[in-house]
């Protein structure tokens, strides 16, 4: 039987990054590119402009931009009787699932996500819009007359995707961005808790269980003094967690460098643990 020395967390990180719109989730990815990681982005938000602009400001911009592969995934919509509905069969979610099975486009063939390694990072930006795409796909594909069936099937498909990315077969790193939704916690007399935004309210509280790290992007201050940070500790409303012991990770990290610093801390922690175990066995 394998020991914990062979655990997948020694080489990969599964991270959920949550935050309000504009809090810096997408821009925070730049530090990982600059740290030498290859990003493969499922871009449901069609919002990579900031990431591109941050990387273009670097002296080695061309090299950095080549490390980022993305596919923009949006559904065509049309107005009917004042409502926006999909134009034809929604394709964004099904295309994303096909890419996870075999990332092949006209420009490149990266194979299945299960073939990627510890220098690769799959990014879903964002889970919020991925969930919307899934709901549209289920709604049109199955034509459920009872909305509860559509919600149930869509939630099942999103959770299946998370379970696959969480599994041991996926050895690359995973970063999933999500917005925050406030949900009343049962039995608390109206206490509101913040969870990742997905489909309905039943799935959101279960989502963090598929990640070994949950961090939050937030804006502190206002106006010219405002700054964006990545928080690593719970604030009473949103429960966060890290795979590093709390006394080894700062309570806040700068959004410009925070993700790369966190990944580096994880690798150092794992290396130190491996060395300590080896020393103990040798002694």
Judge whether 251 lies within some domain: no
Taking 3-state DSSP, the helix, strand and coil percentages for the chain, each rounded to the nearest 5, stand at 40, 25, 35
Task: Read off the DSSP letter of residue 10.
Answer: G
| CA atoms within a 13 Å half-sphere pointing along the CA-CB vector of 31 | 18
For 189-198, write each residue's pLDDT tens digit.
Answer: 778 999 999 9
Judge whether 91 lies within some domain: yes
Judge whether 239 lies within some domain: no
Band of residue 82 on the pLDDT scale cut at 50, 70, 90: confident
Q: Which pLDDT belongs to residue 280?
A: 39
**Residue 65: exposure state from Cβ atoms within 10 A (0-12, 13-18, ≥19):** middle
Judge whether 52 lies within some domain: yes
Whole-angstrom distance, CA of residue 30 vs CA of residue 42: 15
Whole-angstrom distance, CA of residue 12 vs CA of residue 168: 10
The pTM of the whole model exceeds 0.95: no
Whole-angstrom distance, CA of residue 233 vs CA of residue 251: 6
Judge whether 253 lies within some domain: no
Whole-angstrom distance, CA of residue 230 vs CA of residue 251: 8
Judge whether 193 lies within some domain: yes
Whole-angstrom distance, CA of residue 157 vs CA of residue 179: 19
For 86-112, write each residue's pLDDT tens digit.
Answer: 888 999 999 999 999 999 998 899 999
Q: Which pLDDT belongs to residue 3?
A: 53
Domains identified in the chain, total number = 1
**Bigger pLDDT: 186 vs 14:** 14
Judge whether 1 lies within some domain: no
Q: Which pLDDT belongs to residue 164?
A: 97
Q: Which pLDDT belongs to residue 8?
A: 47
**42 contacts 73 by C-beta, under 8 angstroms:** yes
Asked if the model's pLDDT at residue 69 lies above 60, the reply is yes
Band of residue 245 on the pLDDT scale cut at 50, 70, 90: confident
Whole-angstrom distance, CA of residue 244 vs CA of residue 270: 9
User: By percentage, how much of the chain surpasses pLDDT 90?
Assistant: 75
* Angle of CA points 114, 117, 122, to nearest 5°: 70
Domain of 72 in residue numbering reads as 14-209
Report the CATH number at residue 119: 3.40.50
Judge whether 232 lies within some domain: no
For 138-171, write each residue's pLDDT tens digit.
Answer: 999 988 778 889 999 999 999 999 999 999 999 9
**Residue 69: exposure state from Cβ atoms within 10 A (0-12, 13-18, ≥19):** middle
Band of residue 62 on the pLDDT scale cut at 50, 70, 90: very high
Residues 11-31, mean pLDDT to the nearest whole number? 95
């Amino acid at each position: 039987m394998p020991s914990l020395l062979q655990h997948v967390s020694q080489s990969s990180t599964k991270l959920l990054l949550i935050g309000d719109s504009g809090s810096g989730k997408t821009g925070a990815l730049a530090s990982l590119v600059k740290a030498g990681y290859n990003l493969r982005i499922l871009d449901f938000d069609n919002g990579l402009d900031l990431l591109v602009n941050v990387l273009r400001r670097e002296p080695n911009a061309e090299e950095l931009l080549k490390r980022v592969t993305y596919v923009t995934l949006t559904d065509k919509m049309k107005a009917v009787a004042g409502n926006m509905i999909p134009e034809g069969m929604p394709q964004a979610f099904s295309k994303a699932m096909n890419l996870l099975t075999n990332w092949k486009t006209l420009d490149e063939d990266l194979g299945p996500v299960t073939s990627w390694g510890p220098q690769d990072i799959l990014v879903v930006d964002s889970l919020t819009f991925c969930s919307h795409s899934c709901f549209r796909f289920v709604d049109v594909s199955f034509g459920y007359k009872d909305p509860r069936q559509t919600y149930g099937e869509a939630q099942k498909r999103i959770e299946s995707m998370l379970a696959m990315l969480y599994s041991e077969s996926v050895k690359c790193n995973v970063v999933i961005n999500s917005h925050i939704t406030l949900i009343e916690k049962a039995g608390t007399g109206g206490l509101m808790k913040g969870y990742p935004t997905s489909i309905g309210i039943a799935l959101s509280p279960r989502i963090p269980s598929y990640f070994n790290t949950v961090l939050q992007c937030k804006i502190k201050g206002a106006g010219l003094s405002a700054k964006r940070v990545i928080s690593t500790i719970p604030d009473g409303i949103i429960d966060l967690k890290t795979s590093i012991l709390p006394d080894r990770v700062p309570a806040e990290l700068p959004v410009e460098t925070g993700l790369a610093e966190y990944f580096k801390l994880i690798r150092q922690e794992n290396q130190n643990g491996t060395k300590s175990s080896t020393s103990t066995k040798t002694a």
